[in-house]
Every structure is written in C-alpha cells, then in structure tokens.
Structure 1
C-alpha cells in the first residue's frame, strides 16, 4: 500500500505549481529549490514533512508562505497576493564590470546544510517581452502597458527604466566552457541605454527581420561583427555594417528559468 504524502508536502507542491506550472514532480521541485530529489521525497513521505529550512527556502525562492506550508493558515504567498510577481533571488546572476557573474548561492548543495547566503537586492521590476517586441522596443516602450508583458521580474543590478527581459531561444549563445553564455530558456536582462563595446552581449535587429537576435559584438577597427558563442554553431561570425540596430546590452540573467 502506498504511503500518503505528508500534508505539508501537498501544500508545497500545489503552491509551487501555481508559481511555476512546469513543476510536475519531485525532480522538478528539487531543481526549483536547489535540493536533492531524495530530500523532496523525504519531506513527502518520511518524518514530519517539509523541514523548517525547506519551508524557508520555498518562501525565499518561490514566495510561498513558510507558515502556510507548515499548518495551512494565513496567505498562501508571503508578502503578496499576486504570486506571479515573486522572483527566484538565488538563481539570479548579475553584471559586474562588464562580466556576468553568479550571485551568492550554493548550487548543488542541500539547503539543509544551512550554509546559504542572501541573494542580490532587487532594484526594480522589468517586463518579460517577446523578440518581436524587442526589435521594435524603441518605438513601443513609451506606450507599453503592464498587461503587454508576459511577466514583470526583478532586476539584481541597476539598469535604465527602459530595460526588459527576453527568454533565450535555441543554443547559439551557449558555450559549455564560457560562464557568461546562455542556455535555451534562460532569461536575459537587457538595458537599451547601456553602451555596447567590443565583447558585449547584445540584442540586435537586422533591417530585413522583424525579430531581434542575440549575439556577441566584436569590433575590430571600423568593422563590426556578430558572433554566436556556441563553438559548433554554423556561420558563427558574420559582419554587419549599417544593416543592424542594437536594441540593448545584456546586464544579467535568471539561470533558474521562470
């Protein structure tokens, strides 16, 4: 006979799925909370349910009230009735001196070790938009309504008020040997007013395309090139002249997805 899931784990799973619909089972929840899958199973079927450290991690990372997980009382989501506004602080990377670096977090370690550090301060909230919107951002930003964005996410660094997020598509900007590269599905924070210099990761709109694209800017003398970070990408580097407009410079990313 299968053992029933602990009530605290039931509450955690139900709320976590509202925050991140892609969470379907223990493995998904483990990744979201930086836990091992065994730890999630222990919370579900052994002992006294979700541990105190686990409840606090769920509150910090997913915005789910630790008190509600424990006994079902109070609001489901901590500090806000709108769970969609919560961001994953421990999975944010920030830009420092032009280099994207990981925020203080202990990836791969169980939070029950109690060896955690706080994430970066959130500087403001910015829209998650489409690549078509990014290509026309200069003309639509002044009339952009809150409901036009897929979501509004916090930024771990100071950026201009016109900044936005994009969800990276494909693997052209992923290099396993390059820490500042991006996997498919990660969210890039873009500042349209940041200076684009040699080596910057930029969002660019080519004149004959409606959607923006994401590449590294290479400047050699008077010549400019766009480069895919993936070393195995076909046509990895190509030259651009007056046929490209820079829509913004990457300042940070969410490595945990949204």
Structure 2
C-alpha cells in the first residue's frame, strides 16, 4: 500500500528503530551505504541547489572539490560521503538524522553514473589577476518577519514584504516568497534553539521528515514542527522529548505555511 502527499510517494511500512513515520526504508540488499548516500546527495543537489554541487559546497562552507569528488569516477580522486558529511547535509537541509542513509521512493538508485551539472566557466583570467570564480548561486535577501505574520505572508504570496524592516541573505536557493523568523521557545530543542534563524519557503513541497511552519486554527498559533506521515495520517511532531504534547494532528484545522530550508544563528 502506498500513499502520496504533494506528489511524493510514501511507503506505509512501520518505521524501524531510529526512524519515524513513512517513506524511509532500510537499505536494499546489494546497494552499499556509500552509494545510497551518493544518490541521496545527487537528489538534494538537483532539487534544492540548482543542480550544481558548488552551490551546496558554498552553503556548507566547503571547498567545491569536497563535494564534486563524490561523483568522480576516478578511484584516485573519488571520495565517499562519510557520516560526518552526511550529518552536516541533513542539518543544513532540515532533514532528520539518518535520512542520508535510507532508501526513499522518490530517489532513483538504478543509475550509478549520475553527476551534477558543472558551473559554467568564464574566460581564463589574465596573468596576475585572480583566478577565483564567483559563486554561481545568487543569494536572495529575504525579510525577517514575526511569527504572527507568517500566515498573512503566505496567503498574500509575500505581498506584505514592505512591512519587514530587516532582511537576511538566504544561504541556499529559495523562492521569492521565502521569509526568515527567529526560533522561539524550547519545543524543537535540541534541533532548533531559541533565537536561531530559520528560512522558510512556502513554495517547497512538504515531505515526510521535513521541518515545517504550520498554523493551527484550533490552537490559534503558528508553530515549528517536523512533518510525520504514518499509516495514512499526518502529524506535526515536537523534537523536545519532554514536551507535554509531542504530536499534533495535521487536519483541516491546520495549514502548512512553508518548509524550513535552512537554519542558522547570528554571530
């Protein structure tokens, strides 16, 4: 049995230990964990970083070769996605711990020679000039809005931007509707801490395991939670293990306002 949410196919098998909800499956026999991580990385780059590995490298503050070598077929130059790198990618993209290690129905694992697109190269620099190439991804300034404005922002397609006095550059590709907010409260600790910034894109399709901002008319509040799909039902989950109401039903009284695409903390 399979269900869909916003175009994504979700497995309805009961989750194993260390996972929650649907869509996540244990690795298939015959596929090495390094290949699973590589294909998951390829999917993320294609869908969230404009198909360019250099964009992800910039967001992770890594040298471009540290990502491009994952797709290098030359054994001398190839590198695998280790657990530390996988964890950094999961944290950057707002995915649950272990997401990179699991099989997902929407990722194609049958092709082993896929590579991200290469950034267009400019003319060779003249002698004595810098050979540093500009970053291909244009960072978009997005408004910082209060929590109680999130629903109006989404419903008006970002049309209340003139009310936002402060803006931040979003470190990852995003739509023109993207906005930023400061985390409040302890509901999502330790994954999200108070005063951290989150960047929320209303145009991103929610999928199981992603972190979303939602508005519940029943509870009259805008909340940050993790989307969980299990046995055909949708929940919003708090990360704090001590939170008194860890799950909220996602029903007709609740509206997803956007998907968290990046989090950061001012320094």
Normalising by structure 2, we get a TM-score of 0.48
For CA contacts below 8 A with separation 6 or more, give which structure has more relative contact order.
2
Looking at CA atoms only, which structure, 1 or 2, has the larger radius of gyration? 1
Higher helix proportion: 1
Normalising by structure 1, we get a TM-score of 0.50
